[in-house]
Structures are given as structure tokens and as C-alpha cells.
Structure 1
Amino acid sequence: MPSIVLSTIIVLLIFWVFFSSFVTVQQGTIAITTIFGKYSRIMRPGLNFKIPIIEKVFKRISIQNRSVELEFQAITIDQANVYFKAMLLYAVWNQEEETIKSVAFKFMDERSFMQALIRTIEGSIRGFVATKRQSEVLGLRREITENVKEQIDKTLEGWGYHLLDLQMNDITFDDAIMKSMAQVVASNNLKAAAENEGQALLITKTKAAEADGNAIKIAAEAERQAAQLRGQGVALFREEVAKGMTMAAKEMQQANLDTSVILFSMWTEAIKHFAENGRGNVIFLDGSSEGMDHTMQQMMGLNKLMEPQKK
């Protein structure tokens, strides 16, 4: 009976030694082994063999990207409190043995590493902000990020890590400063709106004045052309009347008739035209024989003045 129990124990021990000789390492992870507390080697993802009993897995290190959110405070050179919210993205520098050894043995545990990382970033940002004024900080978001990346990347490299990205998600100040900044922005917006409104009003008035000026010019040009055309019409009318009178006078002379009959006919036609086309206007004419004789003499004098032109 004791021999059976002993045999069972031996078989179980053999199975335990056999199965404990294999280690599975997950994808994206590297295992560190030690022998009697001293670094031995690294194991890649997959099934790995290790020396039973004496070789142990000391730590499993993820080589995937890691992220951490940071919140901290800094003070500017003019004693204004600035509150930062940032996101840090980092990863193991590479998968070489020396890099993995640095990651595994530089810090006692993951908590100590994170504490050192966060404090280093905070110190870098606080040192940069301490040389700037409150009014400059918001405009220096990119410069702050680049400065921190340059300093932290060198530090992380010594720890076996690499800084992939650092983003300043939010930069705020105390409530009193935020209100004063909002007031400044609002006043600047009002000033810009007033300037734009003034420029728009000036442009509108300028365009209206230009339009009025152009309208006046167009109206004046039209009036000038109309007056010119009216003058040309009157001149043509007079020319045609003179031609008609000349032809009538020649015909009457050839018929041995007195040319004054033409003037008398024009006189009667004019009176008839006034009567037919008058629109309520009253025209006083001297209808006496003396008045007609006086008018006829004037018209005959006009006819004599035109005779040299006929010749």
C-alpha cells in the first residue's frame, strides 16, 4: 500500500514538473524570467519552455501603447493659477533585451513608475509656465507641448519607454480671471462689430453718393441731348418754313400776284391753329385793321430780310 501511494506521488510530481516547464506568453506581452532572483532571459509571445522549479517568471511587460490622463496646476510669472488637463500616450521603446531589462528593473512596481512619470511631466510644464505671463499661456499651447515632449522623451528613453503623444486637452484659469478674459473678448468683439458696421455704412453711403452722381450725370446728359435735338428741330422747322415761303413767293411772282397774300394766309392759319389746339389758354390778338396791317408790315419786313438769303 505505501508503495502505491509513493508511486502516485512520484507520477503526480512528474506531471507537475512537466507542465510547469511550459509557459504561455500572450500576444503584445514579453515575460522576464529569473533564476534564484537573478535575471535570466526574456520570453516572446507563444509557448515557451523554462527550467522547472529554479526558473521563474518575474514580470510580464506589455509592449502595447498605454495612455494616462493628467490633471495638475501651474503658476505663471504674474502669479496666475493655470489648470491643465492632458493626455499622455507612451509605449515600450523597442523589444530589445536591454530595453526590456530597463522596463522590468528600473522601478520597484508600476505604481512607482507612473508616479515618477506624472511628476516629471508636471515639473516640466510648471517650469515652462513659470516663465510666461497669464495672457501668453493660451497662445502657447503648442510651444508647451513641444517643450514637454522634448524633455520627457529623453527621460522616458532612459527608462525604456518612448513618448508617442502629449495633448493639452484643456487649459483654464481661476473663475475671476476667466470672467475678465471673457469680458475682454466680448469688448473686442463689440469693437470689431462697431468698426465693421461703420465700414459697411461708409461703403453704403459712398455707393449711394456715386449712384446719385451718376444719375445726375445721366439726367444732365439726357437733358443736353434733348435740348440739342429740340434746337435742331426748331432750326429744321424754320428752314422748311423758309423754303416753303420761298417757293410760294416765286410761284406768285410768276403769276403776277402780290406776295403779301402768303403772309396773310400764314396769319389766318396761325389763328386757326391757336383756336383748334388751344387748351384753355387765352391769347390776345389785335384784330383791328390797323393791328393786322401792323402785323402784315412786320411779316413783310421779315420776308424782305429773307430775300438776300434766297439769292
Structure 2
Amino acid sequence: MEALVGILTGGGVIIVIIIVLLALLFGGLRSSILFTVKTQENVIVERFGKFLRVAKPGLNTKIPFMDTLTKPISLRIRQLEVNIESKTKDNVFVTVPVAVQYVIREESVQDAYYRLSNPEAQIRSYVFDTVRSALSGLDLDAAFESKDDIARSVEATLSTRMQEFGFHIVNTLVQDISPDQRVRDSMNSINAAQRDRVAAQSLAEADKIKRVTQAEAEAESKRLQGEGVAAQRRAIAMGIAEQYEMLKQVGIENTAEELLLMTQYFDTMQDVARNGRSNVLFLPSNPSSVGAMGDEIRSALLQAQAANDTINGDSTPVNPAEPVDGEGNSREHIERLRAEAKERARRAREEARRNAEGAAQSAREHFGE
């Protein structure tokens, strides 16, 4: 009987122990023994306030009442925005927004948690110091051109300083360099003036090229016109020579020059009437003027005819005292008469030419503009 009571008593104790263990596992003490860590996070386990280990993502255990957990430490890339107000070398105050992307290295979670109480404030201090040092030696224009250099300088400084604390600087971006609104307006005015000057220079160059091209075209046109006029005059001269030869061939040798002068005179009148710039043609106001021109032309023709008759035959009487040939004229007298006849013919031709030219000039004056 006593043995049975002992068995029952021992069994009850075991059952109580099992019940307590189940209560601990599935009751309120479960959260004190088991805990989970999410992906891209770490948790530091401390025992009585002393660092014990770093809990990785997944299911982890700890001893209740002895071990404590810190807040989850994120291993994702984070970005810190820093707005810095500084002064350039030419005493212009600018605002420089800087974005710093950083991450805690997984193997340095302990250093990142314990060595810096406020890592963001530490990063801000380094960024302020680096950017202000860089801008103090640059003018405003040079600062705009050196924006990437400033970003690289900030990144190099942060990487060196923050690496020992367990932080890795992924990237540093200088987003903008923004001066005061009045300074920006002044810069825009300067840029606009420079662009206007460049535009004016371009227009002047274009106009210069246009004028030079036009001058070259006009010079070439005048050169070609001169060649055309020369060719025209050469053709006219050749035509006159051919006409003169044709007149000589048909027997009009002595009056050929007078006929050509008359032809040139009438050609001049036709050219004045055809190519005049005015639609009005002025003629002599009375019949006597027209008659005078006709008399000049007629006189020139008669003088030319008289010269021709003189050359063909002379009726000058022979002096009886002089030796004569078989026809009753001495040789010297005949030679003298011939010379005088040739001289009179030459003078008559010259007079006819001058009269014809005078008539042509009168025609130009009467019929011109």
C-alpha cells in the first residue's frame, strides 16, 4: 500500500513538473526564452548589462531574467540629409544641401552600437567641417564648377573617420549650391548680357559674310559685264571691218567711210530710242532744228562726193610755158594736181567725218534723257 502511494506521489510530481514546463514554453515565459530577428537586422544580447553576443536573423534563445536584448539595429542603407550654410571666398553666403548614404557593416555592429551614442550627429559634424573648409577657398563660380570635387572630398573624409566606428559611407551627394535670390538674379543678368553679346557678335559676323559675298558677287558680275562689253565692241569692230570690205568689193570704196558713219549715226538714234530709261523722247521743238541736222548730214555727203570727183578727174588748165606730155599737160603739173586732189579729198573726208560725228552728237543731245 505504501509502495502504491509512493508511486502515485512520484507520478504526481512528474506531472506537475511537465505542466510547469509547458506553462513556461507556451505561457508568459515563452517570450523571455525565445525571440526572432528580422532580415537585415541584428540584435545585441547582453547578460547583466555586459555584451554577450550579436543575434543574427532567425530564431534565437536567451536565458530569462539574465539576458536582455537591445533594439534592432538595421543593416540597410540609410540616407542623412544635411543643409549647410557657408560663405565662399568672394563673401557670398550659400546653402549647400548634402545627402550622405551610409550603412552599418555587419561585422562591426558592436562598434557601431557602443562607440557612438549619436552617429547621425557625428556624421553631420564631419560634413559641416569638410564642406565649409572646401567652400572657403573657392569663388562662387568655382564652387559651382567644383561641386563634384566637394562631394568626393566629403566622402573621403567621412569614409576615413567613420570606418573605425563600424560605418561604411556608400555615397555622398552635393545636391545643389544655392546662393541668395538677389545673387542668383545678378548671375542670371550677367549670363543674359553675355549671351546677348555673343548673339550680337554672331549676327555681325553673319552680316559681314553676307556683305563680303555680295561684294564678291558684284565684282564678278562687273568683271563679266566688262568682258561682255569688250566682246561686243570687238564684234562691232569686226562687223564694221567686214562691211567696209564688202563695200570695197562692190565698188563703193571712196564713200564707204561716209556710209558707215551714217549707219552708225542711225544705229545710235535707234539705240537711244530703244534703251532709254524714260518713256518720253524729246525732239527738236521747231522744223528748222530738224532741217539743220539734215543739212549737216547732206553737206557731209556732198563734200565726200566732191572729194571723190576731184580724185577721179581734174579740169585745172595747163600752163603753156611748162613742158607738156602728149595730152598737153606737163608731168610736174599733173603730179602737183594729183597731190592737191588727194589732200582736198583727205580734208573733205575729215570734214565729212566731223560733220557726221557732230550730227550724231546733236542727235544724242536731242533724243537723250
Question: Normalising by structure 1, what TM-score?
Answer: 0.70
- What amino acid maps onto 2:75 in structure 1? I
Does residue 107 of the first structure (1) align with residue 100 of the second (2)? no
Query: Which of residues 149, 155, 160 is equivalent to 1:149?
Result: 155
1:138/1:171 contact within 8 Å kept: yes
Does residue 165 of the first structure (1) align with residue 171 of the second (2)? yes
Query: Which of residues 59, 69, 78 is equivalent to 1:48?
Result: 59
Tell me, what secondary structure is at the counterpart of 1:107?
Answer: coil
Summarize the Cα distance change of 1:167–1:234 in structure 2 as closer, same or farther, 3 Å threshold.
farther
Query: Which of residues 193, 201, 204 is equivalent to 2:199?
Result: 193
Any residues of structure 2 matched to 1:206-217 within 5 Å, and which? Answer: 206-217=212-223
- What amino acid maps onto 1:50 in structure 2? T
Summarize the Cα distance change of 1:165–1:229 in structure 2 as closer, same or farther, 3 Å threshold.
farther
Question: What is the Cα deviation at residue 7 of structure 1?
Answer: 7.1
**Residue 14 of structure 1: aligned partner:** 25
Does residue 34 of the first structure (1) align with residue 43 of the second (2)? no
Tell me, what secondary structure is at the counterpart of 1:24?
Answer: strand
- Structure 1 range deviating more: 166-175 or 12-21: 12-21
User: Aligned residue pairs: how many?
Assistant: 275
Deviations 1:254-274, CA, capped at 9 Å, x for gaps: xxxxx68x989xx99x99xx9
- What amino acid maps onto 2:177 in structure 1? I
Summarize the Cα distance change of 1:217–1:286 in structure 2 as closer, same or farther, 3 Å threshold.
closer
Tell me, what secondary structure is at the counterpart of 2:218?
Answer: helix
- Structure 1 range deviating more: 223-232 or 206-215: 223-232
Does residue 184 of the first structure (1) align with residue 190 of the second (2)? yes
Tell me, what secondary structure is at the counterpart of 1:88?
Answer: strand
Question: Normalising by structure 2, what TM-score?
Answer: 0.60
Question: What is the Cα deviation at residue 73 of structure 1?
Answer: 0.6
| Structure 2 gap ranges (5+) | 1-12, 274-282, 284-289, 313-341, 343-369
Larger CA Rg, structure 1 vs 2: 2
| Alpha-carbon separation, structure 1, partners of 2:76 and 2:310 | 123
Question: What is the Cα deviation at residue 74 of structure 1?
Answer: 0.9
1:33/1:59 contact within 8 Å kept: no
| Alpha-carbon separation, structure 2, partners of 1:212 and 1:290 | 49
Kindly indicate which of the two structures has a greater share of residues assigned to strand: 1
Summarize the Cα distance change of 1:171–1:227 in structure 2 as closer, same or farther, 3 Å threshold.
same
**Residue 67 of structure 1: aligned partner:** 79
Does residue 294 of the first structure (1) align with residue 306 of the second (2)? yes
Deviations 1:28-72, CA, capped at 9 Å, x for gaps: 223332233222333333x23323324443242222221122212
| Alpha-carbon separation, structure 2, partners of 1:227 and 1:12 | 133
Query: Which of residues 214, 223, 226 is equivalent to 2:232?
Result: 226
Summarize the Cα distance change of 1:19–1:292 in structure 2 as closer, same or farther, 3 Å threshold.
closer
**Residue 95 of structure 1: aligned partner:** 106
Tell me, what secondary structure is at the counterpart of 1:159?
Answer: coil
2:46/2:53 contact within 8 Å kept: yes
| Alpha-carbon separation, structure 2, partners of 1:42 and 1:75 | 45
| Alpha-carbon separation, structure 2, partners of 1:286 and 1:164 | 115
Tell me, what secondary structure is at the counterpart of 1:162?
Answer: strand
Summarize the Cα distance change of 1:22–1:227 in structure 2 as closer, same or farther, 3 Å threshold.
farther
Summarize the Cα distance change of 1:291–1:135 in structure 2 as closer, same or farther, 3 Å threshold.
closer
Any residues of structure 2 matched to 1:225-264 within 5 Å, and which? Answer: 225-242=231-248, 244-245=249-250
Deviations 1:71-112, CA, capped at 9 Å, x for gaps: 1211234433221122222223x432xx2222222223xxx2
1:87/1:169 contact within 8 Å kept: yes
| Alpha-carbon separation, structure 1, partners of 2:24 and 2:311 | 157
Deviations 1:275-305, CA, capped at 9 Å, x for gaps: 9xx9699773549x9668427549979xxxx
Deviations 1:179-221, CA, capped at 9 Å, x for gaps: 4333333332333333333323322222222222222222222
Query: Which of residues 171, 180, 195 is equivalent to 1:174?
Result: 180
Tell me, what secondary structure is at the counterpart of 1:40?
Answer: strand
| Alpha-carbon separation, structure 2, partners of 1:298 and 1:101 | 144
Query: Which of residues 128, 132, 135 is equivalent to 2:138?
Result: 132
Question: What is the Cα deviation at residue 166 of structure 1?
Answer: 1.8
| Structure 1 gap ranges (5+) | 246-258, 302-311
- Structure 1 range deviating more: 127-136 or 64-73: 127-136
- What amino acid maps onto 2:142 in structure 1? E
Summarize the Cα distance change of 1:239–1:160 in structure 2 as closer, same or farther, 3 Å threshold.
farther
Question: What is the Cα deviation at residue 20 of structure 1?
Answer: 4.9
